[in-house]
A and B are shown apart, each in its own frame.
Chain A
Amino acid sequence: MDLKKFFINQNSKKQLKILTCGSVDDGKSTLIGRLLFDSKSIYSDQISQTKFESEKYGTQGKEIDLALLIDGLQAEREQGITIDVAYRYFETEKCKFIIADTPGHQEYTRNMATGASNSDIGIVLIDATKGILDQTRRHAFILSLLGVNHIVIAVNKMDLLNYDKKNFDNIVHLFEKLSKNFNFLSKRYIPMSALIGDNVFSKSKKMPWYADETLISILESFDIDKSSIGEEFSMPIQWVNRSSSDFRGYSGTISSGKININDEITVVSSGEKAKVRKILTPDGNAEFSFENQAVTISLDKEIDISRGDIITTDLDKIKIADQFSAHLIWMHKDNMLPERNYIFRFINSYINGKVTNLEYKININSYEKIAAKSLELNDIAYCKIALSKPTFFKSYIQNNQLGSFVIIDQFNNLTVGAGMIDFELRRSSNISWHDMTIDKKKRSTLNSQKPCALWFTGLSGSGKSTIANILEQKLHQLNKRTYLLDGDNIRHGLNKDLGFTDADRVENIRRVAEVSKLMTDAGLITLISFISPFKSERRMARDLFDTNEFIEIFVDTPIEECEKRDPKGLYKKARSGKLKNFTGIDSDYEIPLTPEIKLKTVSKKPEVLADEILNYMKKNNII
């Protein structure tokens, strides 16, 4: 072996990340097995093991069954472990490949989107004997949505159709039709047999009518690195590099363009400008650097930059907004509800936010747009998002690092969704908050009281309204100005358009929370009596108020007791099935874990319980 040549060759290899789309039936395992086998990426002992298993379990007679090689690696099947993505590695003379292998059976959209988010090329496997199926339409859609711009349509199992050209042509025709609205940069079709190896690594002799290249040659030929020459330099700040030494630099991975020493950059959040003094790359100090390189940049003067900022040479190319529209992929079994608070993870920041408008869901088989009130696992939708503070971004199509985000549940920290930003909504900058001269403090001074929100939560029939009513009377006697917002009453007016689905319950509470915020702002002691079953919405309400202003009162009555009381006969109706989505019966009540006040109601008079709240208020200097 010529070592020098070997290292020169190794160093010129480019990296290609590939996603294979297809299920076991399409021959996906066989294809991956073939790629690993023909590229000699498999140790001989693994091959002999597979040969042994092939004779025992294989479907190919004495021949080696390549699918077993991959399936053998998927021990999770026996162990009942569902995985979303596994990665496999092989290399050829020209390239190093990383294959994202996503099992096709369960949670397909979530898995495939995960794999696609980090892939340059998608291989869409089509079983020639079956033609284009729903799943082909699905694959094309997700690849396009995630911006996998280079695709190969691999028409597999040609051997079973006597390598007939007509079948292939027909599939090409149909795929062209279904993908006409997708913007793939390159699209290549190839007839092949992964099982026999036709047109995978070596040209098939059985299909002289196919003049194009083999699968591997096509993959190697894709120019995946879109040239960012001419684009502005931008870099999100990941880490501020400073210590006791004099050095102060800003570290990050360049998201677009090229930077040279002496270029002038602007910090997007502050508009401050400075010149680049030094560029430190992994190879040491450099005159310039470019997209995708992890660098540390030092500037000619001290300006305020921190993680969460972005620096750029062209301010106009970066958008800043707290509202934008985006495509969303929901990845968790708990539904996404509009107006519920989530944590949004952007490239270098976490920001609270919510979906404000769910415009439509997309049926990924028919591409139809469907109206929706919530999102389930594997749903894809288009929606508007509002954040608690502005962030910088680009549209996903322009830059997938700056245009993507993941959504995290604020309670269990799980990743529940992912999104791709379309464009910013100007609304946020048009409606600005008017600061009034007479503020809450002035109003409460005049009232000589401290305004607050007393938020009663608990099951239907737990005693919320009764206790709140008595408490309001007692406060009134103390000359306190109050207002009581009651669930049933509000549903007769402000919220009469809302029902009892999860999505409507969230909206119900959101409106009530906003109203009680206004009442509190007006200087009143506001009593709010709502079942408010979800911790997310109670948290959302709490977040609207200043510290110590929101007092959560959990009216803790066991459901058996509520059912016994049943003042409105609702439990009876719910038990007989006449009333749907009833909290405690067929809709959840999430118990507050850290309320300010917890009232155990069983065998206690409502007057005593109201006094407990009064005592709390006195102790905390509210009254």
Chain B
Amino acid sequence: MTFNHLKKLESESIYIIREVAAEFTNPVMLYSIGKDSSVMLHLAIKAFAPNKIPFKLLHVDTTWKFKEMIKFRDQTIKEKNLDLIVHINQEGVNNKVGPITHGSKTHTDIMKTQSLKQALNKYKFDAAFGGARRDEEKSRAKERIFSFRDTNHRWDPKNQKPELWNLFNTKISTNESVRIFPLSNWTEVDVWQYIYQENIPIVPLYFAAKRPVINRDDMLIMVDDNRLEIKKGEKIEEKLIRFRTLGCYPLTGAVESKASSIEEIIIELLESKHSERQGRLIDSDQIGSMEIKKQDGYF
């Protein structure tokens, strides 16, 4: 008997998730509410069915996520009877850190990277699942499925353990931890196809709808609440848009699209390969910057 591609990926991911639960004392699943997180969570539920998943979920909330994301998160947790920890960097909140006032870099560092480290230290997690894929970013293509972090949560790309067969080395020294990426071998199309096939719920923001946006620095930014100050010359328009990735709303550009179902999203995705993708020029700085962020403890 042979499996098709998706079945193989599914079994591989379930194997990885079970391995972590079996070998680590205190694992946690980083839940970012996005489509990859939804797939990862779906696989974890399958891995331990009919029982509950034997670890908690952690959402590092920057306080700037789309309202619909938070609503979707709370609904998912309730429906699936999961244990969720929400962590917010209180120090950042006290200092009123935000993407508009402090810029993307500082905001991400304090509210996401530092906040994640705080949470991992606070709860003493020795293993954390993440939904990253190797095809999404260049520094990830060379990252292991079991990616080790030192005491300061830093990633050392020069010092990675070789991964042979499915024999993952889960031995860590005191205070070290591991990030595990069960979706490493999935591509973006695989993820969408699986969502379609398995009927996995995702945040509605992925589907096209009329939403209020402004055009800022050539990005369509959705006006999600009144914290987004409308500058002179900017005007709020209702546009048919959707999001390809989800993050903090003032930092996430929408695309104009009519794709209102998963089928249509997949078609759009496949067709985008053949056309010029407007406004996403490859920024070579970005390659390095992700690596630097990771070395710093970001995801």
Contact = CB atoms under 8 A, between A and B. Distances in A.
A343 B51 contact: no
Contact of B165 (A82, A86, A401): A401
Nearest to B133: A89
A404 interface: yes
Interface in A297-344: 307, 331, 343
How many residues of B sit at the interface, in one of the four size bands? 35 or more
A433 to B, nearest CB: 29
A253 B46 CA distance: 13
Contacts of B196: 7
B3 A292 contact: yes
Interface in B180-194: 184-185, 187, 189-190, 193
Interface in A341-395: 343, 345-348, 350
B52 A243 contact: yes
B4 A14 contact: yes
Contacts of B267: 1, 3
B4 A292 contact: no
B158 A82 contact: yes
Contact of B164 (A40, A49, A83, A114): A114
B161 A15 contact: no
B108 to A, nearest CB: 21
A113 B288 contact: no
Contacts of B275: 44
Interface in A236-254: 238-239, 241-243, 245, 247, 251, 253
Interface string B119-143: 0000000000000001100100110
A345 B48 contact: no
Interface in B85-136: 134-135
A45 B162 contact: no
Nearest to B172: A413
Given A245-B50, A247-B50, A282-B46, A404 B5 contact: no
Nearest to A406: B167
B8 A292 contact: yes
A79 B288 contact: yes
Contacts of B199: none
B29 interface: no
A334 to B, nearest CB: 14
Interface stretch (B16-24, B75-83, B237-245): B16-24
Interface in B5-19: 5-11, 14-15, 18-19
A588 interface: no
B222 interface: no
Nearest to B52: A243
B165 A404 contact: yes
A280 B18 CA distance: 15
A136 to B, nearest CB: 23
A387 to B, nearest CB: 15
A87 B142 CA distance: 7
B106 to A, nearest CB: 24
A350 B172 CA distance: 13
Interface stretch (B207-215, B252-260, B276-284): B276-284
A110 B263 CA distance: 43
Scoring A87, A88, A110, A307 by chain B CB atoms within 10 A of each residue's CB, the highest score goes to A87
Interface string B151-193: 0000001101111111101011100000000001101011001
Contacts of A118: 164-165
Nearest to A97: B5
B4 A13 contact: yes
Contacts of B230: none
Contact of A45 (B48, B263, B270, B282): B282
A3 B1 contact: no
A4 B93 CA distance: 49
Nearest to A348: B22
Interface string A385-420: 000000000000000110011101000111100100
A117 B171 contact: no
A225 interface: yes
A347 B23 CA distance: 12
Contacts of A85: 142
A342 B277 CA distance: 52
Interface in B213-257: none
Given A43-B277, A98-B185, A414-B161, A86 B169 contact: no
A290 interface: yes
Interface in A3-46: 3, 6-7, 10-15, 40-46
Contacts of A44: 273-277
A81 B171 contact: no
A68 to B, nearest CB: 13
B127 to A, nearest CB: 14
* List of 6 A-B pairs having minimum Cβ-Cβ separation, nearest first: A294-B14, A413-B171, A117-B164, A15-B5, A225-B2, A83-B142
19 contacts: A7-B197, A11-B4, A11-B6, A40-B274, A43-B273, A43-B277, A46-B282, A73-B141, A75-B287, A81-B157, A84-B160, A89-B185, A95-B5, A114-B162, A238-B15, A293-B7, A331-B162, A405-B167, A418-B167
Interface of B: 1-11, 14-15, 18-19, 21-22, 46-52, 134-135, 138, 141-142, 157-158, 160-167, 169, 171-173, 184-185, 187, 189-190, 193, 196-197, 263, 266-267, 270-277, 280-282, 287-288, 291
